[in-house]
Amino acid sequence: MFVDLTLPIDDEIPVFPGNPPPNIKQFSTIETKGWNEKQLTFTSHFSTHIDAPKHMIESGKTLSDYLIESFIGEAIVFDVRNQSTIDIDVSKVKPGDFVFFFTGYSDHIYEKEYFENNPVISESIIRKLIEKKISILGIDSFTPDNHPYPLHKLLFLDNIRIVENVTNLDKISQQRFFCYIFPLNIKNADGAPCRVVAEI
């Protein structure tokens, strides 16, 4: 069974404050040109997306620097709902894991206050996950930390990628699953919208 952990790409998805809004419009129609085609304009960190180290580290890796197979792997999810500062037992985390945090915050995606009062992961947990040599960190909110994003930078310095704005983690009943993450193939990208799918 497969579970789609990806938000849609549409005009309703909020953008990070200060970022340009998406522009999704009908470029051509069957009636006018003989085919339907849309024109899409949005940033590389829109909707469900993955951050590469280049996002905040000038010398960091881009998505192009990672092998495609590194976006496919075993994942573990932690239910951390009702935690404003996230703390977990990392003993079940294995090297190479994709570690997801189910905060429940994606339920607020269309609310005006989405970019306020988001849960954050404690620095001690991030350091433990780095020691565990995880591959990817994922969360169902727009960020695992807030400005000036020290945890982003800690993860990036160890070449750990971050997936943000995932959804439907409530549909995964077991803690471990297999995960597929496919970013748009944008050359030398600092990040990209991606399709995230759980196989359970």
Q: With residue 100 as reference, give the H or E element that holds it.
A: strand 98-102
**Radius of gyration of the CA atoms of the chain, in A:** 17
Percent of the chain with pLDDT over 70: 100
Q: Burial-class residue 129 by CB neighbours within 10 Å (0-12, 13-18, 19+).
A: buried
Predicted local confidence at residue 48, as pLDDT: 99
Contacts for 188 with CB less than 8 Å, ≥ 6 apart: 54, 62, 63, 64
User: Per-residue confidence at 95, pLDDT binned at 50, 70, 90?
Assistant: very high
* pLDDT value, residue 82: 93
CATH number of 2-10+43-199: 3.50.30.50
Find the mean pLDDT for residues 57-65: 98
141 close to 119: Cβ distance less than 8 angstroms = yes
> What average pLDDT does range 114-124 have in this prediction?
96
- Residues 25/38, Cβ–Cβ less than 8 Å: yes
Residue-range domain boundaries for the chain: 2-10+43-199
User: 């998805």: which residue's tokens?
Assistant: 13
Task: Answer whether 54's CB lies under 8 Å from 60's CB.
Answer: yes
Average pLDDT, the chain: 98
- Total residues belonging to the chain: 200
Take residue 90 and report the two structure tokens written for it. Answer: 């990392």
The 10 Å Cβ neighbour count of residue 52 is: 25
Give 148-194 pLDDT, tens digit per residue: 999 999 999 999 999 999 999 999 999 999 999 999 999 999 999 99
How far is Cα 89 from Cα 70, in angstroms, rounded to an integer? 25
Phi, then psi, of 41 in degrees rounded to 5: -135, 120
Q: How far apart are the first and last CA of the chain?
A: 5
Distance CA 6, CA 60 (A): 26
